[in-house]
Amino acid sequence: MAAAAVLRKNGTALRLRRGLVSVIGLLVFWEIGRRLHFPFLSAVPAPTEVIGSLDKIVGNSKFWNDWISSFSRVLSGFALAQLIGIPVGLLMAMSRTLRYLWFPPLEILRPIPPLAWVPTSIIFWPTTELSIIFVIFLGAFFTVVLNVLGGARAIDERLIRAARSFGSKPRDIFWRIVLPATLPSIITGMAVGMGVTWEVVVAAEMIAGKSGLGYFTWASYVGGNYPQIIIGMASIGIAGYVSSGAIRFLGKHATPWQQRI
């Protein structure tokens, strides 16, 4: 049918339009709510106020330094978590002994929220920076290990059998079967881990930091500069989204054989 065909061709356009309508509608509702003093909304600075503060902020170099601070912490902690977590996960997947040995202690430590480690971390590490990075590391580490372990253990046994029937040595099996097959899980673990990382960084900066986007948001609140809070929140959201997006993008290229939903 002609109508159905047209609709299908413009499917994405239609979805985009609908999405735009709802977002703009929400912004308008927010603005009105603030102006007309709706019960909960009236306390939140309106979109127009936020945009008004924007040019003051964007010109301020300290704001961009906060971006750099947060990003550098995120990257350090995240990279560390991957460097240690991926090998640990792979080792646990391949060696039953190590798995039985390490899994219980990990399962005991994992439910402790990373932020609960902040005071211990501060006591232990000489600088605030290191203590924040450590907490970030913890947050991402467990995610990584779990995803890698899960992915490696889920490899179809038949693939490994096929490789062995070709006369592969354990080294070959690892590099040519296990690693590529686990790669999608590693990427997923990274993307999720990145999300966790930003959650932790923001909170850690609010609690114990003196720079960074989390600190910026909190300081804006304490200093009574409310529109800046929204700018801070939006910045963090964008930063997190861009980071996760970058990982997924790199991931897609690293695993061209995967068809994503």
Q: For residues 131-150, which are near another protein according to CB under 8 A?
A: 146, 150
Rounded to whole angstroms, how far apart are CA atoms 164 and 162?
Answer: 5
- Of 120, 161, 246, 250, which lies in the binding site for another protein, with binding defined by CB under 8 A? 120
Q: Which is nearer to another protein, 8 or 56 (CB)?
A: 8
By the 8 A CB rule, do 207 and 115 touch? yes
Rounded to whole angstroms, how far apart are CA atoms 150 and 189?
Answer: 10
Using CB under 8 A as the binding rule, whether residue 122 contacts another protein is answered as yes
| Burial classification of residue 24, based on how many CB atoms lie within 10 Å of its CB (0-12 exposed, 13-18 middle, 19 or more buried) | exposed
Q: Which is nearer to another protein, 162 or 246 (CB)?
A: 246
Tell the residue number behind the tokens 């997190």, with chain if given.
Answer: 240
- Of 36, 37, 40, 62, which lies in the binding site for another protein, with binding defined by CB under 8 A? 40
Rounded to whole angstroms, how far apart are CA atoms 172 and 174?
Answer: 5
Closest separation between CB of residue 233 and another protein, Å?
A: 5
Closest separation between CB of residue 175 and another protein, Å?
A: 26
Closest separation between CB of residue 169 and another protein, Å?
A: 26
Q: Which is nearer to another protein, 114 or 251 (CB)?
A: 114
Tell the residue number behind the tokens 């929220």, with chain if given.
Answer: 113
Q: Which is nearer to another protein, 103 or 249 (CB)?
A: 103
Closest separation between CB of residue 122 and another protein, Å?
A: 7
Please report, as residue ranges, which positions from 192 to 231 form the binding site for another protein (by CB under 8 A).
Answer: 195, 198-199, 201-203, 206-207, 214, 217-218, 220-221, 226, 229-230
Rounded to whole angstroms, how far apart are CA atoms 142 and 189?
Answer: 9
- Of 13, 37, 55, 108, which lies in the binding site for another protein, with binding defined by CB under 8 A? 108
- Of 83, 241, 249, 258, which lies in the binding site for another protein, with binding defined by CB under 8 A? 241
Using alpha carbons, select from 247, 255, 248 the residue that is nearest to residue 180: 255
Q: Mark the segment that binds another protein (CB under 8 A) among 50-58, 76-84, 118-126, 176-184.
A: 118-126
Quickly count: other Cβ atoms within 10 Å of residue 79's Cβ. Answer: 13
Using CB under 8 A as the binding rule, whether residue 67 contacts another protein is answered as no
Closest separation between CB of residue 70 and another protein, Å?
A: 11
How far is the CA of 63 from the CAs of 2, 120, 203, in angstroms? 53, 29, 18
How far is the CA of 243 from the CAs of 138, 170, 195, 208, 240, in angstroms? 18, 35, 8, 23, 5
Using CB under 8 A as the binding rule, whether residue 29 contacts another protein is answered as no
